[in-house]
Structure 1
Amino acid sequence: MRILTIALMISAGAAHAEPVGITPDLMAVEVETSSGSVSISRVQDNDAIIEGDFARIARPCPNFCVQPMIPAEGVTPVGELEVLAFLNDPNVVVVDGRVTTDFVKGAIPGAINVPYFEAADRLGEFGCEIDFDGWICDGEDVKSVALYCNGPWCGQSPTAARRMIEAGFPASKISYYRAGMQGWQMLGLTITEPAE
């Protein structure tokens, strides 16, 4: 009888999975992307685990050293809820600073890819004006940027932030999502499908 009771409790628990929200009052966020509308939510499988490249936690330093929360003076660190809000804010561009080969394997929906080594040369995409001496980034049309890359051990977006600032982009208009793809996937948040 006791074995039957335990078996019934296990099967009842498996059949009654609890919903996984982003916050208690937020199940999903709709984001417009170049491919159409995408609903960002968390994986609903209560037994889901992180797998793949982002499950690896012990990569040699250098190059995979833990990054500071603030990669340059004036940059604002942010978390997932801020990134979700930025995705629907027309004054903010969410930028994946990873190399394109990583971006096409999966990214935050709505983010654009600006590899870290191109960031200082592409400030025009954020509203800066080119000048003979570099960039002018003080106009009303200059958007804020939220940078991310692979995770807390990835130096690509911190490097992009520093290069953008050196090129004339205001540090006060840069946010840094340090958790990156590793943190995003750890929380089971929606990513883009890998390009074929």
Structure 2
Amino acid sequence: MKIFLFIILLFSFSFSYDYDLKNVGVEIEANDKIIKIKRIEDQDCLLINGANPENLFSGDYAKEGLPKACVKKFLTTMGKITPMKINDKIETIGELEVIKFIEKSQTNKNMLLIDSRLPDWYLQFTIPTAENIPFTYFNKNKYPDDFYDALEMIGVKEISKDKYDFSKAKELVLFCNGAWCPQSSFAIENLIKLGFPQEKIKWYRGGIYSWKLLNLTTVAE
């Protein structure tokens, strides 16, 4: 059920920039020519099971003969590209900001790095210190028990039905698989609907894809 939900989100979640880059593309003019910007997708790519974590991050890609430890290859046809910003209140950050956040969180328990992917992905590997709060946990109607577990982890208490106390809300950084992954964005959108203070939310849009691309340390939980 959760894998099915993951696949649906990959292909249905939309933002302000609702470009269909896999099918329609965006036409622009350059050097007196009409060029269509698209995500190039060979038909063989459609056969890949994107819900399998092992299919996503493996292998190497560079000049033949280079040390394998120095190069990376990732699946490039997954999901739908997200914009750089969710809104003007939530800051989008990069790797150095994430590392600084991790350092500060060592002595500040009110800071929480959240891996919003499903557990199978989190258990494969994640960013050091990240806690797994799957994006599904932020859906109160479908997963009420998980929802209240998530509230406790982020420092929020329910006062009455649909009313919450954010006085002890933690500072959050959320991430998922990459710029084409909607899971962290889904979690953030639900936090906004909840009334969570947006100034306490940061978004690592690059996620695991960018983290691994730069060969930064990961841990297996």
TM-score (normalised: structure 2): 0.60
Counterpart amino acid of 1:151?
Answer: G
1:1-196 equivalence runs, <5 A: 48-51=70-73, 55-59=74-78, 64-88=79-103, 89=105, 90=108, 91-119=110-138, 121=147, 122-139=150-167, 141-193=168-220
CA–CA distance in 2 between the matches of 1:149 and 1:46?
Answer: 25
Percent of residue pairs bearing the same amino acid type: 29
2:85–2:91 CA contact under 8 A, matched in 1:
yes
CA–CA distance in 2 between the matches of 1:137 and 1:81?
Answer: 31
**1:18-46 CA distances to partner (integer Å, 9 max, x unpaired)?**
xxxxxxxxxxxxxxxxxxxxxxxxxxx79
The structure having more radius of gyration, on CA atoms, is 1
Ranges in structure 1 where 5+ consecutive residues have no aligned partner: 1-44
CA–CA distance in 2 between the matches of 1:70 and 1:123?
Answer: 24
Counterpart amino acid of 1:103?
Answer: Y
CA–CA distance in 1 between the matches of 2:182 and 2:206?
Answer: 12
1:78–1:177 CA contact under 8 A, matched in 2:
yes
> Structure 1 pair 192/47, CA: closer, same or farther in 2 (3 Å)?
closer
SS at match of 1:178: coil
2:159–2:165 CA contact under 8 A, matched in 1:
no
Count how many residue pairs are aligned between Structure 1 and Structure 2. Answer: 142
Ranges in structure 2 where 5+ consecutive residues have no aligned partner: 1-66, 140-146
SS at match of 2:136: coil
Q: CA RMSD in A?
A: 1.9
CA–CA distance in 1 between the matches of 2:83 and 2:102?
Answer: 24
1:123–1:164 CA contact under 8 A, matched in 2:
no
Going by fraction, where is helix more abundant, 1 or 2? 2
2:179–2:205 CA contact under 8 A, matched in 1:
yes
> Structure 1 pair 105/81, CA: closer, same or farther in 2 (3 Å)?
same
> Structure 1 pair 85/100, CA: closer, same or farther in 2 (3 Å)?
same
Moved over 6 A (4+): none
